[in-house]
A and B are shown apart, each in its own frame.
Chain A
Amino acid sequence: MGSSNRKKKEKKKDFQKAKLKVGKANAKAANFTDTSFKSKSINVNQQTLEGDGSDSVEQFKQTLTTAATAKPDNLRRDALSYITNQISAKPPNNPVGTAGVLTKLLPLISDVSTSVRAHLLRLFRVLPPSEVRPHVEKILMYIRGGMTHLAADIRSDTLNVMEWLLEVAGDEVVSCPGGWLKTLNSFSSMLGWNPSVGSAMNSQGWTSGSKSTLGTKKGPEAQARQIQVLARFLQAGFQPETAAPYNPKAYWDNIYRLPATANPFAYLNLFGAPRDEDNEMYPDRISRQRVFDAKWRSSIVAGMDGAKKEGGTVGRAAALLGKALRGGLGDSAPLPVR
């Protein structure tokens, strides 16, 4: 009984006029702000009015950061296209150098947004090939990460990046540390032609196709594309080396001149961690052929045969791969492939 009365009173209180009393301060208003505190300094949030377009170097760097870290897709995409424009301009405007651009933007290879990935590829294509070559090892790491990504779209887009890299620096791709065997590993995992997974399981299923391509509408096309890029990769690996033209100064240059390439003694691995078989670099064609024969030939050939039987686009791509294999291994050993 008491409670309802009380509630009524409380409700009423809101609409009553506050009484003024002599000798007492007025009640504080509802929106009163307490300003009685003291402060020795005033902090103003950093804001700048200038700097919009006035300093192109700063702006480039800022855009680079935006491209790498901004949350909204659109921002990243726009930043990428801005950088592309700047680099492709004549003369190119690239204050941080190709190395700086690559370190910032390589993680975007496995970006969530499709358009960002497309723009990234466009950007890569305008980079000067000679400056890309020293960084091939690092780019390959990101490509391998992208090739085995969970999302199929990212995988297929990464293949485009791989294709570009093969175009600009095919030799370096196959001869850098880890570039040959590890990349082959990723390819076979992508295609499902993997001997090590089979051994990890007690029994193998009766289906030979890759799980990742099953049930998708794009499946056959994606697989065909993967086989194509693999064929390209193998072609690059088995390309016969052209003998360097005779240079009478070469002997003395070798002794007295500074080497022109970056890290010329990489094959000695003086400062890095010890490499295992996968991480080893295979600098010449013979060694690549040998290790391919030992480790990958049987599984890739078996997978290829299966793909050929599938026919269609996949079959055509497999035939292409067969050609590449024949071309590459023709002089080392006879192939059991028609």
Chain B
Amino acid sequence: MGKRKLAALEKVDADLVNLQYKIRRDPKSYAQEFYDQWLAYDAQRQIFISSPSTASTDDLKKFHDLVDLIAHVADLYPDLTGAYPDHLKELLNQHHAILHPELREKVVGSLVLLRRKDVIDSTSLLTTLFPILISTPSKTLRSLLYTKIISDLRESNSKSTNHRLNRTIQTVLHNLVTSDRTSTKGMWATRITRELWRRQVWSDAKPCDVMKEACLSDNEKVVVGGVKFFLGGDKSREEFEDESSDDEVDLKRVKHQSGINKKSKKRQKAYEKAIDKVKKQDRKKSAPHPLNFSALHLLHDPQGFAEQLFQKHLQNTKNKFSLDNKLLILQLVTRLVGLHKLTIISLYSWFVRFLTPKQAQVTSFLASLAQATHDLVPPDAIEPLVVKIANEFVSEASASEVAAAGINSIREIAIRQPLCMTETLLQDLVLYQRSKDKGVVMAAKGLQSLYREVYPELLQKKYRGKEATMGLRSGETRQRKFGEEDVGGIEGIELLEQYKEEQKAKKLAEQEGLPEGDEGEKKLDDEDDDGFHSDEWEVGSTDSESSGGWIDVESDGEDDVPAKKRQKTGSKAPQLVDGDKENVVAEANRISTLAMTSILTPADLLKLQELRREARVDQALGNRSKRKKELIDRHIDEGVTAEDIELPATLGKKSTKEERVALAKDGKPGRDEHKSTQAIRKSKKEAEGKSSTNKEKARKKNFLMTVGKARAKTKRSLTDTTKALRQHVARSKNGGRRRNDAPP
């Protein structure tokens, strides 16, 4: 008698994978088998729990396999496996320290699988995993749990924001940080928050609050984690966004390949997938940009936060943080002060003892000081610091780099608060432009040009320059008092108003047959509110005569003489520029009324944008009065770094040979061995998976294969030669390709 054939499940080593496959295909019929395995799992679980630390490898393996099987089919038998998630949670909670790594991983994976099959919800999964993440001593388990937690949070926020879950987790993280300020456990809160912020899963104020608490922790690591988040979190978010948009699909290539390769379902699917991806990306591109506020802007009570941070970590002499970390904290504090224009007077006196050239990383301190300065800081608080920098750094005896850094940092401070400077000091500093060192010269010139714009009275007459002197005389450049602010408003609204008036005047002139002039202006005043229709805007041409000096509305002439003079000369310029003081004031009042009395239509806004752009072009061509403001804006956005301070010192330095060699090598193919450029190109091409060109192939072709054709060519008749040449010409006209159909 032959061997009896065994059914698949009867075999002694019948595997659970096979059973799993069958159960999934037909859960009803295999309920009995599943129940058997459920009981087996139960027995194995009890064996394990009776002595978790001494379980034999055999038992562990069996248990591992059964856990796996049940996790995969648990969703099919909800009444039988109701207790299963609780079993796993209990197992993980109580025995995670002694569980075998493989089994541990399986249990975590099974829980996540149950979450994916919606057997348990995210909250219960995360509240199980999170305490273990914090308490476990195993590094592998920590990294596993970390990735699982992040991925689950991402997934549950992928379709729409799961506010409830986010709130729960954020509260957990917040409590974690605030409950024990001395422990390193807060690290995990900062790591998770930072990652989710980077991926834009969380972008509201609550994670910022968690990080704020982390900054106020007592543990150095946690504090640094929090501080780095505020200093670099937004940048890393942007970078990540760029990265993720980089992996674009080359649709053309995929299409080309599908035309050449054998057609199969798999390739077809790949092609469809690529199309989907491209479509999705297109949609993403055209979608409105999500409003992402910077973490620094989302902070609640920045004044209190900055004060606390400063008092706790910087002013406190018992604090033993390393210098690097203290500098990071200082950067954050000063950034907050500069950005939100906070007032922490004690900060400036604290700076004094760090402002010596011998202080380690003094340029960072200088940069921070510059960052901490803004126009609402009392000049009295900064003046001693500026004097100290000048005394310590800037002298004939000090090294040129030191002097350059000193002058440059003074300039950075003065950009933000020009009132911090005394006349004698400035004149002394400006004289350094006669130094031999190029870096010092540049720094001193920078300071001079700054003061030419903001406060030319302080400079000696011969250093003021033409424009500043003229501005002074005309009263255009006027020194601002402490705390003085620009009058706010919509940028360019005056341009729009002027444009409107012109259009109206033109229309009136057309209607009444009058030349545009005073009459039109009068009429315009009468029907100020209702007089225009937005459809007129499209036809209206933008007259070049209207541009003029409309930007500087607040610049009011103080003395009459130059104004009169200009009135005479500037007949071509628009009449409103050269009005006297009252005229300008009246103008300013009227400007504010446009936005107040009428609602700007979309067409208006478009026109406004256009006018603004024009005005900016004008400004770039000639008038450079707003350069200073742009400079300040840039710094507020990005903060000052030590590199900014050190920059002038690098000017005029001769580079070393290594640097020059590195510069020359930059961007050229790497040469590990001696090789020709051709060979390097070829190997690069091969590495990219590209084949050789037709020309190369022709060159390499065996001589004996070509010799016959060459011989035949010489023996051709004249007609044949002509024909061939004709074909050649025709081919080159058609793109140089041989077609399948023979030419006539």
Contact = CB atoms under 8 A, between A and B. Distances in A.
Interface of A: 1, 68-69, 103-104, 107, 110, 112, 114, 138, 141-142, 144-145, 147-154, 178, 182, 185-186, 189-190, 192, 194, 196-197, 199-203, 205, 210-212, 215-217, 273
Given A197-B32, A212-B36, A151 B10 contact: yes
A104 B57 CA distance: 11
A202 B79 CA distance: 12
Contact of B36 (A142, A189, A201): A189
A144 B11 contact: no
B37 A200 contact: no
B399 interface: no
A70 to B, nearest CB: 12
A222 B59 CA distance: 26
28 contacts: A1-B700, A1-B702, A68-B56, A69-B58, A107-B58, A110-B62, A112-B12, A141-B46, A144-B42, A144-B43, A145-B40, A145-B44, A145-B62, A148-B39, A150-B14, A150-B36, A151-B14, A154-B12, A189-B32, A189-B36, A189-B39, A194-B32, A197-B32, A197-B35, A202-B28, A203-B28, A212-B33, A216-B7
Contact of A200 (B11, B79, B703): B79
Given A144-B39, A212-B32, A138 B50 contact: yes
A145 B189 CA distance: 42
Nearest to B35: A197
Contacts of A152: 10
Interface of B: 4, 7, 9-14, 16, 19, 28-29, 31-33, 35-37, 39-40, 42-44, 46-47, 49-50, 54, 56-59, 62, 77, 79-80, 700, 702-703
A151 B13 contact: yes
A1 B703 contact: yes
A202 B28 CA distance: 8
Interface residue SS majority, chain A: helix
B12 A153 contact: yes
Contacts of B79: 199-200
Given A104-B56, A150-B37, A217-B4, 14 more contacts: A107-B62, A141-B47, A144-B39, A145-B40, A145-B43, A148-B40, A150-B33, A151-B12, A185-B39, A189-B32, A189-B39, A200-B35, A201-B31, A215-B7
Contact of B80 (A145, A150, A200): A200
A221 B148 CA distance: 50
Contact of B19 (A107, A150, A182): A150
Contacts of B77: 200
B37 A211 contact: no
Nearest to B54: A103
Nearest to B63: A145
B658 to A, nearest CB: 34
B43 A141 contact: yes
Contacts of A1: 700, 702-703
Given A142-B43, A151-B11, A185-B39, A211 B62 contact: no
A147 B37 CA distance: 10
Contacts of A211: 29, 32-33
A196 B80 contact: yes
Given A1-B702, A150-B14, A153-B12, A186 B32 contact: no
A161 to B, nearest CB: 13
B244 to A, nearest CB: 45
A194 B10 contact: no
A227 to B, nearest CB: 17
B10 A201 contact: no
Contacts of A145: 40, 43-44, 47, 62
A321 to B, nearest CB: 20
B39 A186 contact: yes
Contacts of B39: 144, 147-148, 185-186, 189
B32 A69 contact: no
A201 B28 contact: yes
Contacts of A210: 32
A112 B36 CA distance: 18
A150 B36 CA distance: 8
Given A149-B40, A189-B35, A189-B36, A142 B13 contact: no
A178 B46 contact: yes
Contacts of B56: 68, 104, 107
A144 B36 CA distance: 10
Contacts of B19: 150
A204 to B, nearest CB: 9
A149 to B, nearest CB: 6
Nearest to A178: B46
Nearest to B57: A69
Nearest to A278: B42
Nearest to A144: B43
**Which of B4, B13, B56: most chain A CB closer than 10 A?**
B56
